[in-house]
A and B are shown apart, each in its own frame.
Chain A
Amino acid sequence: MTQAMERRGADAPKVHSTQRTNRPWPVEFWSSAIGKKWVMAVTGLGLMGFVFAHMVGNLKMFLGAEEFDAYAESLKTLLYPIIPENGVLWMFRVGLIVMFGLHIASAYQLTRMNHRARPVKYQSPRDYIAANFAARTMRWTGIIVGLYLLFHLADLTWGWFQPDFVKADAYNNLVNSLSRPPVAAIYIVANIALGIHLFHGGWSMFQSLGLNSPRYNGARRAFAAGFAVVVAGMNVFFPIAVLTGIVSN
């Protein structure tokens, strides 16, 4: 029916092509930008659960080497013997890899689409009112956190950067690693970036999922701020605790 309308003026170029075909709905949903935002929100929520649990688990370091190592060991035997050793751990790992993958893929595709949507930038400075620092730097904080994640795995899971790395000696590896000031600095900077990312993401996800009600809207911001401060704050405190000798071997 749109063809029947007389069109005035040049048509705008397309920045995205929604194929209106008869495909299974998950495929169709993923092909839309709103669908990708749902994926970002759902995977973001899963990853928030992970960073929270990770932070809580790390609190064990304050109880000493034994407790911490026992906790690290116990992750391998979660639900054992119902599920074989390392089984649950690998399920988590695969789940996390999938969530990271989808989160990054949707972020990348949406960013590309947004760049196409404004090929010529404003030629005079913009004066933003609502778009805060966290929202405008999501891309960069996300990249910092992603790179840091790889570093973190190489450092404490694979031990690439530690000459006296001993597998399964989690506590000593941690203390040895974080007592090097440059490494501690990386952890601190990356976790501040994580906090900034969570501050916008933790709020934004409610909007993307359509979780909206005048009664609870105020709480959404508070939740995001509280979550970011607790998780990033504690994560920044760990290297500081090691550097200052609160946690030592």
Chain B
Amino acid sequence: MTKMLNLKLKVWRQDGPDDAGHFEDYSTTVADDASFLEMLDYVNEQLIADNREPIAFDHDCREGICGSCGLMINGQAHGPQKGTATCQLHMRKFNDGDHITIEPWRAAAFPIIKDLAVNRAAFDRIIESGGYITVNTGAAQDANETPVPKEAADAAMDAAACIGCGACVAACPNSAANLFTSAKIQHLNLLPQGQAERFGRTKAMVETMEDYFGSCTNYGECQEACPKEISVDFIAMMNRDYAKSMIVNRRRLGERKVG
């Protein structure tokens, strides 16, 4: 049975990166089988009909795999349901008459573009620093040519589940990106194919991360907010690999940089 919910919304509105921004109140009535973003769509339709500026927010796949969406809902990144991206959150998680406060991610590394949309390009800087290859390597080799232990494959897959949404940074009281970065580092470092550049990559990605984000004090908030439930265990692995990189990289000629 579909229930209708009357909701009071308090939404962050900000015209652009340099605008101060403020909360605005809206009321809406929505069916409880709508998703959270559909609820915002209804609000926006009403705003457009009233000739007012609709609320800007990021979204794309709406099935929890692209990492575009992400809102601070009642003080929790991606809202109250564990392991769920904002787009997969449904209104049945809320009650009739609820007050819902919606804010964008807040971090120096994620400047607000407009309203609830933030620029997460700092994540791209981290990924880029991990390196990439642009030569034509020919056809992919047979998948079973490199044996991978089951445990390593499972752990690497768990890390690779990260969709880059930024909820870990948003939820972290320090705005640290250690969960994201460790997931991106470890899904390669855990596999035999990732060994060749393991320590160079770890060092480069960690140092780029530290250019933009805060430092981890092991609150564990990120793990709770993460829609993919990435474990803080990966952060410990990254800390270990980063320390090792200090020694290992010295032994490698190409690693010594000047200037």
Give chain B residues whose Cβ lies under 8 Å from the Cβ of A45: none
Give the contact stretch, choosing among A53-61, A115-123, A172-180.
A115-123
Q: How far is the CA of A42 from the CA of B251 in the complex (A)?
A: 25
Give the contact stretch, choosing among B26-34, B56-64, B102-110, B138-146.
B102-110
Q: How far is the CA of A63 from the CA of B36 in the complex (A)?
A: 67
Report which of A119, A121, A210 forms a contact with B243, defined as CB distance below 8 A. Answer: A210
Give chain A residues whose Cβ lies under 8 Å from the Cβ of B121: 7-9, 11-12
Q: How far is the CA of A237 from the CA of B35 in the complex (A)?
A: 55
Give chain A residues whose Cβ lies under 8 Å from the Cβ of B110: 12
Q: How far is the CB of B253 from chain A (nearest CB, A)?
A: 12
Max chain A CB contacts within 10 Å: which of B110, B211, B259? B211
Report which of A7, A29, A212 forms a contact with B236, defined as CB distance below 8 A. Answer: A212
Please report which residues of chain A, range 120-154, place their CB below 8 angstroms from some CB of chain B when the two chains form the complex. 120-131, 135-136, 138
Report which of B108, B225, B235 forms a contact with A118, defined as CB distance below 8 A. Answer: B108
* B236 contacts A206, C-beta separation under 8 Å: yes
Q: How far is the CA of A158 from the CA of B32 in the complex (A)?
A: 69
Report which of B128, B174, B223 forms a contact with A5, defined as CB distance below 8 A. Answer: B128
Q: How far is the CB of B39 from chain A (nearest CB, A)?
A: 18
| Residue B97 at the chain A interface, CB threshold 8 Å | no
Give chain B residues whose Cβ lies under 8 Å from the Cβ of A34: 206, 210, 215-216, 238-239, 242-243
Report which of B106, B175, B212, B218 forms a contact with A207, defined as CB distance below 8 A. Answer: B218
Q: How far is the CA of A235 from the CA of B245 in the complex (A)?
A: 41
Q: How far is the CA of A202 from the CA of B129 in the complex (A)?
A: 33
Give chain B residues whose Cβ lies under 8 Å from the Cβ of A10: 17, 111, 119
* B129 contacts A138, C-beta separation under 8 Å: no
Give chain B residues whose Cβ lies under 8 Å from the Cβ of A206: 236
| Residue B46 at the chain A interface, CB threshold 8 Å | no
Name B's interface SS. Answer: mixed
Give chain B residues whose Cβ lies under 8 Å from the Cβ of A35: 242-243, 246
* B128 contacts A2, C-beta separation under 8 Å: yes
* A15 contacts B211, C-beta separation under 8 Å: yes
| Residue A28 at the chain B interface, CB threshold 8 Å | yes
Hey, what's the 0/1 contact readout for B73-86 against A, CB within 8 Å counting as 1? Answer: 01110000000000
| Residue A157 at the chain B interface, CB threshold 8 Å | no
Please report which residues of chain A, range 72-99, place their CB below 8 angstroms from some CB of chain B when the two chains form the complex. none
Q: How far is the CA of A217 from the CA of B218 in the complex (A)?
A: 14
| Residue A167 at the chain B interface, CB threshold 8 Å | no
* A124 contacts B101, C-beta separation under 8 Å: yes
Q: How far is the CA of A214 from the CA of B236 in the complex (A)?
A: 11
* B210 contacts A33, C-beta separation under 8 Å: yes
* Count of chain B residues near A, Cβ 8 A: 63
Give chain B residues whose Cβ lies under 8 Å from the Cβ of A131: 173, 219-221
Give the contact stretch, choosing among A17-25, A184-192, A226-234, A241-249.
A17-25
* A122 contacts B212, C-beta separation under 8 Å: no
Q: A32-B207, A135-B219 are in contact. Are A22 and B256 (CB under 8 A)?
A: yes
Max chain B CB contacts within 10 Å: which of A2, A11, A34, A125? A34
Please report which residues of chain A, range 29-57, place their CB below 8 angstroms from some CB of chain B when the two chains form the complex. 29, 32-38
* B217 contacts A110, C-beta separation under 8 Å: yes
Give chain A residues whose Cβ lies under 8 Å from the Cβ of B235: 207
20 sample A-B contacts, Cβ–Cβ < 8 Å, listed by A number: A11-B122, A11-B125, A13-B108, A13-B212, A17-B211, A28-B246, A33-B210, A110-B215, A110-B217, A122-B72, A122-B75, A128-B219, A129-B221, A130-B223, A130-B224, A131-B221, A203-B218, A207-B216, A207-B236, A212-B240
Apart from A15-B212, A35-B246, A118-B214, list 4 A-B contacts with CB within 8 A. A21-B257, A34-B206, A34-B210, A135-B218
Q: Give me the interface of B with A, judged by CB distance under 8 Å.
A: 10, 12, 17, 23, 72, 74-76, 101, 103, 106-111, 113, 119, 121-122, 125, 128-129, 173-176, 206-208, 210-221, 223-225, 232-233, 235-243, 246-247, 250, 256-259
Q: Give me the interface of A with B, judged by CB distance under 8 Å.
A: 1-2, 5, 7-18, 20-22, 25, 28-29, 32-38, 110, 113-114, 116-131, 135-136, 138, 200, 203-204, 206-212, 214, 217
Q: Which 6 A-B pairs have the closest CB atoms?
A: A210-B240, A117-B214, A212-B236, A127-B75, A33-B215, A130-B220
